Structure 1
Amino acid sequence: MYEGKGTSVDSILVDTPEKLNVGGRYVLKLADTLLKGVSVFTDRFFTSIPLVDCMLSRSLTVTGTLMSNRVPKEAKFESDSILKKRGRGSSDQLVRQDEKMVLVKWFDSRPVQMASSKCGSEPLGECKRWSKSDNKYIQIPQPNVIKEYNAFMGGVDLLDRVIGKYCMRSRTKKWTIRFIYHFFDFAAAASWLEYREDAPLARLEKKQIMDYMDFKFAIAQALLYNLEDKENETSEDEEAVEIKKPRLVEALPARGFRRESALHLPEFMNDKQKSRSKCRLAGCKMLTFTRCTACNVFLCCSVNRNCFLLFHK
C-alpha cells in the first residue's frame, strides 16, 4: 500500500533515477525478481520515459500507455485534429535516435499514447470497432504495439476496469470508509476474474458463466442466507414473543440456493385452516400443510402431488 508522500521504494539491483515517480519506483522494485529478456506491460499510472530507460539497463523491455504530460517536449506528434481527419485507426510513430524506444500515438475513439522498448507500429494489424454512422462493425488499422499491449495487459489495469463497473459508492470523503469499500470491490472483482478463468475447467458452458453483476448478486445472496441461518440458530433458545403482523408473501429463493438439497427438509404444519397455504410451485394452485424449512415456502408433498421435489430440481 502506498502510504503517501515521503514513502521511498528503491530497487536493490539498480540505482533509482531521481525523476522516477512513485509508480515507476514500484515497477522497478518488483522487477528485481525478473530474469533478463522479460517484457513488462504497465498502464498509464506507471509508464514513464525514465522507467523505460532504467529497465533497459537491466535488459528488460517495457510497453505501456503514456500520459500526455509525460511525453517529452521534443517529441512532436501530429495533432489530434489531423489524426481525426485522417480517420479512425490513424497513427503516428516517433523513434528515438538510439532506436531503443518508440512512441506511438493512435487515434481510436480518442487518442492513445504508447511508449515501448519492445515493438512499434509495424506490422500494422486490424481490429473491429462499432461505427455509429454505418450502424455496423468495421475494421480499422491497429499498430502492433497496441495489439501486444491488449494481448498481455491485465493485473492492475484489468482489475481497475472491472471494479469501476459496479463499485460501492459513498458520499463520504473519509479515507477509511473509502478504503474499506475499495477492498470489498477489490475482493469481488478479483474473485470474478478467477471464477471466469476456472469456469472452462469446471466444464461450464458459455451461457452458464455469470457476468460480474450476477456474480456480485450471488455473493450477496450467499451472505444473506448464511446470516439468516445464524439468526435462526441463536433465536431457538429465546422465548418466542407473539406479535401480530400483516401477512407478507415470501420472496422465492435463488435457483442456486434451492439446489442445496441437504438443507431442505419438509415440515408438516398443524391440521388447522390458518396453518395451510397455497403451493408456491409455478402452475400449482392447491393448498398444502407442508413447508420447506430452508426456503420457508409452502409446497405440496403427497403421493398424488410432489411439488416439493419438482421445486428443488
Structure 2
Amino acid sequence: RWMDGQKNSKSTEKLKFKPKRAPGVQPPLNSQVSTPGEMFSHFFDEKVLKLLCNNSNKYAVRNHRSGRNFAWSEITIEEMKKYLGLLLYMALLELPKVSDFWRKNTIFYVPFPSTVMSRNRFRVISSNLHISDPAEDALNDQRKGTGEHDRLHRVRPLLEIMRNRCMAFYHPKQHLSVDERMVATKARIGLKQYMKAKPTKWGLKFFVLADVNGYTVDFSLYQGKSTVSSGNGLSYDVVTSLVNKDYLGSGYVIYCDNFYTSPLLFRYLGQQGFGACGTYRQGRVGVPTTTENALNRGSPRGSIRWIREHDLLFVKWMDTREVSICTNVHPVYKGETVLRWQKTEDGKRQKLPVPRPTAVGEYNKFMGGVDTSDQMLATHSTKRRTKRWPVTVFQHFLDIAVTNSFILHKELCASRHQKPKTRQQFQEEVAASLLGVSLHSMSEHHPSEDHFPVATSQKQEKAQRASMGRRQCTVCKRSTPWQCEVCRVGLCVQLERNCFRAFPGIKS
C-alpha cells in the first residue's frame, strides 16, 4: 500500500563509502606539477601517435594503389603532433571552413597555420587519417553477416586505449550518473541512431558513465542489437557493463533516468555494493501496480507517497506533475523543502515552501554529470563535418582527452588551493605544446624577420634549378623559381617586381 511520506520517514542506512582507490587524480599526475600539454600527453601519448601514424601511412599507400592521385610522404610522430595541434587551434578560432585558415590577400588572413604545414598537406593527412590496420579491416569486412564481424573494428584500437586512459588517471567520487551521449554524423551507416529528446537527434550513440564534475569515466559506443546479452534488456546490460566493481570498488551511488531504472537492475547493484537512484516508468516489470492511497490529479502540491519492497523504496511526489523515483540508498523524507509559486487564500501568488523527498533532491543534484560533460565537450570542439564516421569518433576522442585533462587540471588546482586556467587558456597551451611553439611567440617579433626567399626545388642539379620545379607566384600569378621558406608559397624576387615584399603574409 502507498504510504504517506509526510507521516512515515523511515530511512535506510547509507552504504559505506569504500572506493578501491583514493578518489581524485591518480599517480603520477597528482605527484608533480604538470603543464596542460603534459597532462594531455598522458591521453594521446606516443603509443596513440604511433598507432595513428602507422595505420594512416598504410591507408594512404592502399589509396594510392587503388588509383587515387595525391602527393604523399609518410607521417611522422612530430608531424602528427602538429596536426593535432592545428585541430585544437582551429577549434579555438572557429572559422567556417578549414580552407579559411590558409586564405591569402584578405583582411581575414590568418598567418600562423601556413607556418606549421601547407593547406594541401593538412587536407591529405585528414583524408588518409586511419585508426585501424587496413589489412585487418579487409579481413573483418569478409566476416560480415557472421558472429565474428566487429562493427566497431575501424575505431576499436583507439576506443579501448581511450577507455583505459580515462579510468587510469582519475578515480571518481561517490556519485556517478549513466546516460546517453549523441555525437552528430551525416555518415550513411547502420550505427547511426535517432533520439527525439536529445538536442543532437541523429548520430552515434554513446553510453557514458560520468562524475558530477563532468569527467568521462567510462563509455561504450552502441553498435545495435547484440547477439551476446544477459536477456535482461539493453538498459540492464549497459549499466552493468559500465559500473565495474573491480575498478570502482563499492559504496558508489549510481543515478540514471527512467530508461535504465528497473527493480532487477537496482537489486543487482545493491548486491554488488552500489547504491542506485533513478526515475522509473510505471509499467516496468517489478514496479508496484497498486493504486491504493496513490497520488491523483487532485493531490495537493508537495504530497508524498511511498512503498517499500525489501531493499527498494518507490516514492511518488506531486510537483507540477507526478514524479516517480526509485532508490535503495535514500530515506523517504528528511524535512527538505523547495520554493514553488502558489496562490494564497486572497488570490495572490507567492513562493511557498513545499516538501520534497530526499531522493528527488539528490537525483537533481547528481544526475547531471553526463550533461555537464556534454556541455564541456561542445566548448571549442574539434569536430568538423566529415563523411567518414571513424574520423568523427577520432575527433570525439580528441575532445574527451582535452576535456578530461582540463578537469584533472582543475581538480589538482583545487587540492593545491591555486587558481585554475580557463578552458580556453588550457586548450591554447595544449595546442602550443603540440605545435612546438611558445604561446606568445607570434607577438615577440615581426613575421618578416623569419621569412626568406628560397628555391622552389632542391632536387635538380644546380644548372637546372632555374627552369625546373618552378611554381606560380601567389601575387602576380607568373612562374617563379622562388618561394617563401616559411609560408611555402611561390613568390617572385626580380628587379622589376618584388612580390616577396608585396605578399601580405610577409609584411610586418
Q: Normalized against structure 1, the TM-score is what? A: 0.52
- Go from structure 1 to structure 2 and tell me whether the alpha carbon gap of 1:120 and 1:143 turns closer, same or farther (over 3 Å shift): same
2:355 corresponds to which residue? 141
The one of 207, 217, 223 equivalent to 1:3 is 223
Residue 340 of structure 2 contacts residue 352 of structure 2 at CA under 8 Å; is this kept in 1? yes
The one of 28, 35, 48 equivalent to 2:262 is 48
1:65 and 2:278 correspond: yes
- Go from structure 1 to structure 2 and tell me whether the alpha carbon gap of 1:179 and 1:144 turns closer, same or farther (over 3 Å shift): same
Instruction: Give the secondary-structure state (helix, strand or coil) at the position aligned to 1:164.
Output: helix
Counterpart CA distance in 2 for 1:105 and 1:192 is 39
1:160 and 2:377 correspond: no
Residue 41 of structure 1 contacts residue 64 of structure 1 at CA under 8 Å; is this kept in 2? yes
Residue 276 of structure 2 contacts residue 328 of structure 2 at CA under 8 Å; is this kept in 1? yes
Query: Which amino acid is 1:244 matched to?
Result: A
Residue 188 of structure 1 contacts residue 216 of structure 1 at CA under 8 Å; is this kept in 2? no
- Go from structure 1 to structure 2 and tell me whether the alpha carbon gap of 1:7 and 1:171 turns closer, same or farther (over 3 Å shift): farther
Structural mapping, 1:101-140, within 5 Å: 101-106=312-317, 112-127=323-338, 140=354
- Go from structure 1 to structure 2 and tell me whether the alpha carbon gap of 1:132 and 1:229 turns closer, same or farther (over 3 Å shift): farther
Residue 342 of structure 2 contacts residue 352 of structure 2 at CA under 8 Å; is this kept in 1? no
Residue 63 of structure 1 contacts residue 114 of structure 1 at CA under 8 Å; is this kept in 2? no
Deviations along 1:205-248, one digit per CA (max 9) or x if unpaired, are: xxx445xxx4046404641585383999xx87972351514599
Counterpart CA distance in 2 for 1:117 and 1:124 is 19
2:289 corresponds to which residue? 74
Counterpart CA distance in 1 for 2:249 and 2:408 is 29
Instruction: Give the secondary-structure state (helix, strand or coil) at the position aligned to 1:93.
Output: strand
Instruction: Give the secondary-structure state (helix, strand or coil) at the position aligned to 1:95.
Output: strand
Residue 266 of structure 2 contacts residue 328 of structure 2 at CA under 8 Å; is this kept in 1? yes
Residue 65 of structure 1 contacts residue 112 of structure 1 at CA under 8 Å; is this kept in 2? no
- Go from structure 1 to structure 2 and tell me whether the alpha carbon gap of 1:184 and 1:132 turns closer, same or farther (over 3 Å shift): farther
Query: Which amino acid is 1:219 matched to?
Result: Q
2:235 corresponds to which residue? 23
Give % identity: 17
- Per mean C-alpha deviation after superposition, the further-off stretch among 39-48 and 108-117 is 108-117
The one of 394, 400, 411 equivalent to 1:197 is 411
Counterpart CA distance in 1 for 2:224 and 2:360 is 32
Counterpart CA distance in 2 for 1:49 and 1:140 is 28
- Go from structure 1 to structure 2 and tell me whether the alpha carbon gap of 1:25 and 1:123 turns closer, same or farther (over 3 Å shift): same
1:94 corresponds to which residue? 306
Higher relative contact order (CA 8 A, sep 6+): 2
Deviations along 1:83-113, one digit per CA (max 9) or x if unpaired, are: 6xx34xx2533314x4431122345677543
Count of residue pairs brought into register by the alignment: 223
Counterpart CA distance in 2 for 1:138 and 1:185 is 43
Query: Which amino acid is 2:375 matched to?
Result: G
Residue 261 of structure 2 contacts residue 278 of structure 2 at CA under 8 Å; is this kept in 1? yes
- Go from structure 1 to structure 2 and tell me whether the alpha carbon gap of 1:228 and 1:163 turns closer, same or farther (over 3 Å shift): same
Query: Which amino acid is 1:78 matched to?
Result: L
Counterpart CA distance in 2 for 1:218 and 1:121 is 43
Unaligned runs of 5+ in 1: 10-15, 249-273, 276-313
2:390 corresponds to which residue? 176
Query: Which amino acid is 1:227 matched to?
Result: L
Instruction: Give the secondary-structure state (helix, strand or coil) at the position aligned to 1:145.
Output: helix
1:223 corresponds to which residue? 431
Counterpart CA distance in 2 for 1:217 and 1:137 is 41
Query: Which amino acid is 2:224 matched to?
Result: G
Counterpart CA distance in 1 for 2:425 and 2:340 is 30
- Go from structure 1 to structure 2 and tell me whether the alpha carbon gap of 1:121 and 1:33 turns closer, same or farther (over 3 Å shift): same
Counterpart CA distance in 1 for 2:503 and 2:316 is 66
Deviations along 1:277-312, one digit per CA (max 9) or x if unpaired, are: xxxxxxxxxxxxxxxxxxxxxxxxxxxxxxxxxxxx
Instruction: Give the secondary-structure state (helix, strand or coil) at the position aligned to 2:437.
Output: helix
2:400 corresponds to which residue? 186
Query: Which amino acid is 2:235 matched to?
Result: G
Instruction: Give the secondary-structure state (helix, strand or coil) at the position aligned to 1:4.
Output: coil
Counterpart CA distance in 1 for 2:274 and 2:335 is 20
Residue 317 of structure 2 contacts residue 357 of structure 2 at CA under 8 Å; is this kept in 1? yes
Q: CA deviation at 1:48?
A: 1.8
Q: CA deviation at 1:179?
A: 2.7
Residue 278 of structure 2 contacts residue 326 of structure 2 at CA under 8 Å; is this kept in 1? yes
Q: Normalized against structure 2, the TM-score is what? A: 0.35
- Go from structure 1 to structure 2 and tell me whether the alpha carbon gap of 1:55 and 1:218 turns closer, same or farther (over 3 Å shift): closer
Q: CA deviation at 1:4?
A: 2.9
Unaligned runs of 5+ in 2: 1-219, 443-449, 455-483, 485-490, 492-499
- Go from structure 1 to structure 2 and tell me whether the alpha carbon gap of 1:194 and 1:32 turns closer, same or farther (over 3 Å shift): closer
Counterpart CA distance in 2 for 1:185 and 1:111 is 38
Residue 406 of structure 2 contacts residue 426 of structure 2 at CA under 8 Å; is this kept in 1? no
Counterpart CA distance in 2 for 1:139 and 1:209 is 37
Instruction: Give the secondary-structure state (helix, strand or coil) at the position aligned to 2:289.
Output: coil
Counterpart CA distance in 2 for 1:137 and 1:73 is 34
Counterpart CA distance in 2 for 1:187 and 1:137 is 44
